[in-house]
Chains A and B, each alone.
Chain A
Amino acid sequence: ETGVTQTPRHLVMGMTNKKSLKCEQHLGHNAMYWYKQSAKKPLELMFVYNFKEQTENNSVPSRFSPECPNSSHLFLHLHTLQPEDSALYLCASSQDGDREGFNTEAFFGQGTRLTVV
């Protein structure tokens, strides 16, 4: 059983809808991430939170809005999405640091498969 849980597992939404993806990690990690996986593309990092502070935003459109209320929970709020935003959205967590050679494993949730119609 994964230590990172995501809900919902599947979501179909219209372009005018507002929805939120939820992620919860039970591993005591200090960093959480949102990734997007589209067909035939590598996983794309969207957002990084370290100790609840957003440390990276990889030029993600504003229709995606992350929220990290505490170190165990991460949300991705969705608003007026486009059909090309249909993808698998993966949440991950890791125990992170900035020491050279400190290899940290990222644990992934099972993802939310999003379809925008």
Chain B
Amino acid sequence: RKEVEQDPGPFNVPEGATVAFNCTYSNSASQSFFWYRQDCRKEPKLLMSVYSSGNEDGRFTAQLNRASQYISLLIRDSKLSDSATYLCVVKTYSGGGADGLTFGKGTHLIIQP
């Protein structure tokens, strides 16, 4: 089973619509969760961290369900500039120092005018 699974899409969504992505992770010891955004041929950049209580940043809402081991991202009133690949990322602390982030394959979103 893959460590972090996402629907690769593409999701074709009209401008102004609401779109949601889910992501599941396999390691129940995972403790930090993030959504990153990656534009074509660019490096990934942090979109938002995901907290247990859920969090919102403008049009973006992230939620975490530890019992079911999934993370969601909701984008409201989508803009053309939201077109990108959204990467679900988890981090597990082993207590030995820095651990790398584990990435999903990403979900490709295309906002259509």
Q: Do A and B make up one complex? A: yes
Task: Give the interface of A toward B (CB within 8 A).
Answer: 2, 30-31, 33, 35, 40-43, 45, 48-51, 53, 55-56, 58, 90, 92, 94, 96, 98-111
Q: Is B102's beta carbon under 8 Å from chain A?
A: yes
Nearest Cβ on chain A to B74's Cβ, whole angstroms: 20
- Contacting residue for B96 out of A30, A40, A55, A105, CB 8 A: A55
Are the C-beta atoms of B104 and A42 separated by less than 8 Å? yes
Q: Tell me which of A31, A58, A105, A107 contacts B98 (CB under 8 A).
A: A31
Question: Beta-carbon contacts of B46-68 to A below 8 Å, as 1s and 0s?
Answer: 10010100000000000000000
- B9 on interface, CB distance cutoff 8 Å: no
A110: which of B42, B51, B96, B98 is its contact (CB, 8 Å)? B42
**Chain B positions 15-63 with a Cβ under 8 Å from a chain A Cβ:** 31-32, 34, 42-46, 49, 51
Residues of B within 8 A of A2 (CB): 43
| B103/A30 in contact, CB under 8 A | no
Q: Is the CB of B100 within 8 A of A56?
A: yes
A49 to chain B, nearest CB (A): 8
A-B contact pairs, 27 of them (CB 8 A): A2-B43, A33-B101, A35-B100, A41-B105, A42-B87, A42-B104, A43-B87, A43-B103, A45-B100, A45-B101, A45-B102, A48-B99, A50-B97, A53-B97, A55-B97, A90-B44, A98-B95, A98-B96, A100-B31, A103-B51, A103-B91, A104-B32, A105-B49, A106-B46, A106-B101, A107-B46, A108-B44
